Structures are given as C-alpha cells and as structure tokens.
Amino acid sequence: MSSMTEVELVLYCIIALIILENLFEVYIALRQVKVFKTSNKVPEELKAHMSNETFHKARKYGLDREQFGICKCLFMDICVIPLELYFGLMAYMWQAALNWVNYFKLNADNEIIVSCFFVVLISLHGYLKDLPFKLYGTFVLEQKHGFNKQTARFFIWDQIKGLLVGNILTVLVSAAVVFIVQWGGEHFFIYLWVFAGVLSLILLTIYPIFIAPLFDKYTPLEEGELRKSIEGLAASLKFPLTKLYVVEGSKRSSHSNAYFYGLWNSKRIVLFDTLLLNKGKKDITDLKDEDKGKGCTNEEVLAVLGHELGHWKLGHVTKNIIIMQINLLLIFFNFNTLFKYAPFYEAVGFTPGVKPILVGLFVILSYVMAPYNALLGYAMTILSRRFEYQADEFAQKLGFSEKLCQALIKLNLDNLGFPIHDWLYSSWSHSHPTLLQRMHRLQELDEADKKKK
C-alpha cells in the first residue's frame, strides 16, 4: 500500500478543516434549535411588552431560520464544497477561463487577463449555487413570516444590478492584485497592503454615495421635530453631520436599522424608513394595516442614534479599521510566505508548475488560514459585544436609558427577535449582546447612578 503523497495530505487536511469547522457551526446551531423547541414562556422582564402570540411567532421564525441555515450548511459547506475541491473545480474553471480568452483571441499568456475571466466564472458559479437558497430564504421563509417586501421583478432587477456591480469591482480589484504581486518582487505584500488600505477608504467613501443608491432610494429626512432633535444631538457631541437620509428599506424587507458613514469631517446618518413610526409618514391612510403602529417614536429614534453616535465618539470605527489593517498585513505576509508552495495548487487540481496567483490567494486565505480566521472572528465578536455595551453606556449617560430600552424592545418585537438564546450559540454567533443582556446592563447603570446620588 503506497503512502499518502504530500499533495493528497494537503487536500485531505483542507477538506477536514472545512468539515470540522462547519460541523461545529451545525452543533451550536442545533443547541439553539433545542432552545427554540423547549422555550415556551415569555421571560419575566418582557411580559409587559411581549404577548404569548408574538413570543411564539418569534420562536417559529427563529426555528425556521436556524433549521434552514443548518440544511444549507450541511449541503453546501459540508458536502458540495469538499467535493468541488476533491474533483478540482478551480482547475476546471481556470481552464474554462483560458478557453474564453482564446475564444476572444486575447493573450492567454497574460495572467491578468485570464484571472479576470476566472473571477467572473467563479462569481457566477457561486451565485448560481446560492440562488436556490436565496430564493427560498426570500420568497418562502421571509414571506411566510411577513418580512419579505420584494416582488419577483424587484428581486430580479436587484440581482442583475448586484451581479454587474459586484463583477466589475471584482475584476478591477483582481487585476490590480495580480499586477502588484507580479510587479512587487519579494516584498509585494507591503504594496498589496497599502493598496488594500487605500481601496477600503475609497470604497467607504464612494459606496454610500454612488453604489448604494443603485439598490435603494435615499431621500433627505424632512424638516420637523425629529430632524431638529437629531441635528441638535449631533451638534452637542460635535459630530460633523452633513447629510441626514431616510432609505426606503421597506421595499426590500420590514427589518429595521440605522447607521452613519463618511470619513473625517463629513458624516452622514441614514435611517431605515422601517425604523420610524409609521415609516415616518404623517398621512398613514396609504399604509398597510400590518405596518401601522410599527417603528419607533422620535424620542426612541434619538436614543438609538445616541447609541450609534457613541460608537463614533468612543472611536470604535477607528479601532476596527486599525484592527482590520493589521490583520490584512498579517494575511498578506502569510500569503507572501506560502503562495509558491506547489502542493496547494496541485491539491485543488492544477498540473505541476501551474500556480495562478488568485488561486493561491483564495486557497491560503479561505482554507489554509481557516483556523486563524475562525479564532479571529470569535475575538472580533467578543470585541464587538464589548463595543455595544460601551455605546449603550454612552447613550445612558446622555439620558437615553429608558427610551433606548423601549426602542430595543420595540425593534425586537417588530423584527420577531427571539429573546432566549443558548449561551454558546450566542457567544459565538452574536456580534451584539442579547436584548435581555442589554436591558439588564442599562438597569445596572441606572441603579449605580441612583446610588451615587
């Protein structure tokens, strides 16, 4: 019996890592499924706000979503992806890209050109794989629980725009990455890091202004009490607010959100129309009955923004950017060290001597560094939860504790968020503390302030 070759060892190790990581994801998801199935009572803290009917609606919604996620993980991540690696799908895609380059009579020896065709083919393949799950998630699962607002026409047009914009950006970035690696010599990872840093800042600037409006309608928040209150809050915190928008997210979903974006002294705040009471409309005659009364009052919206502005005031955005840049430098350094190792390419189906740069980058980042990525993801989840508590405390110091609690409860109810979670599932999966954890923390802060007085 012949011993396992180095190439086979690399392939089986990669497949084993993928399967083990996703089996762990399934395990913690099954723990949460058990919680959904066994939790039958509204928590004491929410009995005044959450009816038994809403509680069981949220339980069923959470259960459906979790079971759907488990099925998708078992099929795609534990079955399909390992089979694609085993049978060398990436090598077939690279050959297909070469065929297209030859068909258009372009230079097949130019790796940048071949790479551009390759990433488009990989992108389309990934999109088609995910499409049935996307359709089910949108038009069956979300529709069943009353969240989907997309028509088939809106969905199709949205997908076309997403594919076009996504592929244009991917092709441009991929071409630049291959060029930098070829041109940069031994220390190309430094140039790649600088490029990634500059690119991320550019995208942070242009995405909300030029790309996001291709998918959703943004309109300035109309003059009135809410606008004056938000501008007053921003001014009191010296937040450089330049624009205040409402995004028509209700055409896509009834889930709510609010965020800010922009660099340095030009910040913009965006409110989802679903966040506002009755979608922010004074005349509610045209609203569907299911939408009437939903959303937050002006005071509650202000409390939510007090939390969001806390992230800015406490430097959370800057800290995350710094962490991301350090991580990118480490990733590119590892790529620089490992990308010439031939078994990585042969393990995914390439003939000896063929080592496409993008394939090496993808294999190393997605598979070889998978344990590191999982641990980093968990560390960032812990940090994110810490930041959320700090932003809540910031809002509490502004006097928004009661209204923020009310807003959190209301948003949880409107989004059918289930208030009970398995501890391991929550600590691994939730970037935000749970509703009850945040309520308890705000109450503790209020009680501590009372004792000081």
Q: Does residue 77 lie in a domain region?
A: no
Is the alpha carbon torsion for 91, 21, 17, 19 positive or negative?
negative
Residue 259: per-residue pLDDT: 76
At residue 313, what are phi and psi to the nearest 5 degrees? Answer: -65, -35
Give the pair of three-digit tokens for residue 260.
């800010």
> Quick check: is 97 in a domain?
no
Which pLDDT belongs to residue 293? 66
Count the domains in the chain.
1
Distance (Å, rounded) from C-alpha 340 to C-alpha 359?
A: 11
The average pLDDT across 150-156 equals 89
Q: For 349, phi and psi rounded to 5 degrees?
A: 110, 0
Question: Could you list the residue range(s) of the whole structural domain that residue 226 is in?
Answer: 216-295
Q: How far is CA 398 from the centre of its chain?
A: 29
392 as an active site residue: the answer is yes
Whether 324 is in a domain gets the answer: no
Q: Are 160 and 154 in contact (CB under 8 A)?
A: no
Q: Report yes or no on 261 lying in a domain.
A: yes
Q: How far is CA 79 from CA 17, 158, 326, in A?
A: 13, 29, 34
Q: Which residues of 376-400 are buried (b: 16+ CB within 10 A; e: fewer)?
A: eeeeebeeebebbbbbbbbbbebeb
Q: Is 145 annotated as a binding residue?
A: no
The better pLDDT of the pair 216, 321 is held by 321
- Per-residue pLDDT tens digits for 386-414: 999 999 999 999 999 999 999 999 989 88
Closest of 230, 271, 272 to residue 254, by C-alpha = 272
d(CA 305, CA 89): 47
We report the CATH number of the domain holding residue 229 as 3.30.2010.10
Q: Which of 67-76, 221-230, 255-264, 363-372 has the lowest mean pLDDT?
A: 255-264
pLDDT higher for 82 or 245? 82
* Residue type, position 40, single letter: N
Say if 164 falls within a structural domain: no
pLDDT at 221 over 70: yes
Q: Which of 84, 111, 273, 392 is catalytic?
A: 392
168 pLDDT higher than 90: yes
Residue 230 maps to a domain: yes
Residue 109 one-letter amino acid:
D
Greatest alpha-carbon span in the chain: 80
Number of helical (H) and strand (E) elements in the chain, helices listed first:
17, 4
Determine the pLDDT at residue 1. Answer: 36
Q: Is residue 357 within a helix (H) or strand (E), and if so which, with residue range?
A: helix 357-363
Residue 123 predicted with pLDDT over 80: yes
311 is in an annotated binding site: yes
**CA dihedral sign, ordered 165, 166, 167, 173:** positive
H/E stretch holding 364 reads: none
Own/partner pairs, 318-326, CB within 8 angstroms, 24+ separation:
319/387, 321/200, 323/380, 323/383, 324/200, 325/193, 325/197
pLDDT for the residue 2: 44
- Spatial CB neighbours of 391, under 8 Å, sequence gap ≥ 6: 307, 308, 310, 311, 314, 316
Answer whether 417's CB lies under 8 Å from 49's CB.
no
Inter-residue long-range contacts of 206-212, CB under 8 Å, 24+ positions, other chains counted = 208/261, 208/262, 208/268, 208/270, 211/165, 212/247
Q: What is the CA radius of gyration of the chain?
A: 25
pLDDT for the residue 397: 95
DSSP string, 320-350: HHHHHHHHHHHHHHHHHHHTT-HHHHHHTTP
Alpha-carbon distance of 243 to 249, in angstroms, equals 18
Q: What is the mean pLDDT of residues 416-437?
A: 94
Contacts 24+ apart (CB under 8 A), 297-302: 298/225, 298/226, 298/229, 299/403, 300/403, 300/404, 300/406, 300/407, 300/410, 301/226, 301/230, 301/258, 301/271, 301/275, 301/276, 301/407, 302/226, 302/229, 302/230, 302/233, 302/400, 302/403
* pLDDT-based confidence at residue 255 (cuts at 50, 70, 90): low
Yes or no: say if 292 and 298 are a contact pair by the CB < 8 Å rule. no
Torsion of CA 384, 389, 395, 400, to 10 degrees: 130
Q: Is residue 276 included in any domain, yes or no?
A: yes
Q: ∠ CA 340-345-346 to the nearest 5 degrees?
A: 125
pLDDT band for position 250 (cuts 50, 70, 90): low
Rounded to the nearest 5 percent, the helix, strand and coil shares of the chain are 70, 5, 20
List of residues 6+ apart from 402 with CB closer than 8 A: none
Span 271-280, average pLDDT: 78
Give the pLDDT band (50/70/90) at residue 45.
Answer: very high
Catalytic, 109? Answer no
Question: Which listed residue (308, 346, 414, 422) is catalytic?
Answer: 308
pLDDT of residue 402: 94
User: Across the chain, what does the average pLDDT equal?
Assistant: 90
- Report pLDDT digits (tens) over 321-378: 899 999 999 999 999 999 999 999 999 999 999 999 999 999 999 999 999 999 999 9
Q: How far is the C-alpha of 106 from the C-alpha of 412, rounded, in Å?
A: 55
Residue 357 within any structural domain of the chain = no
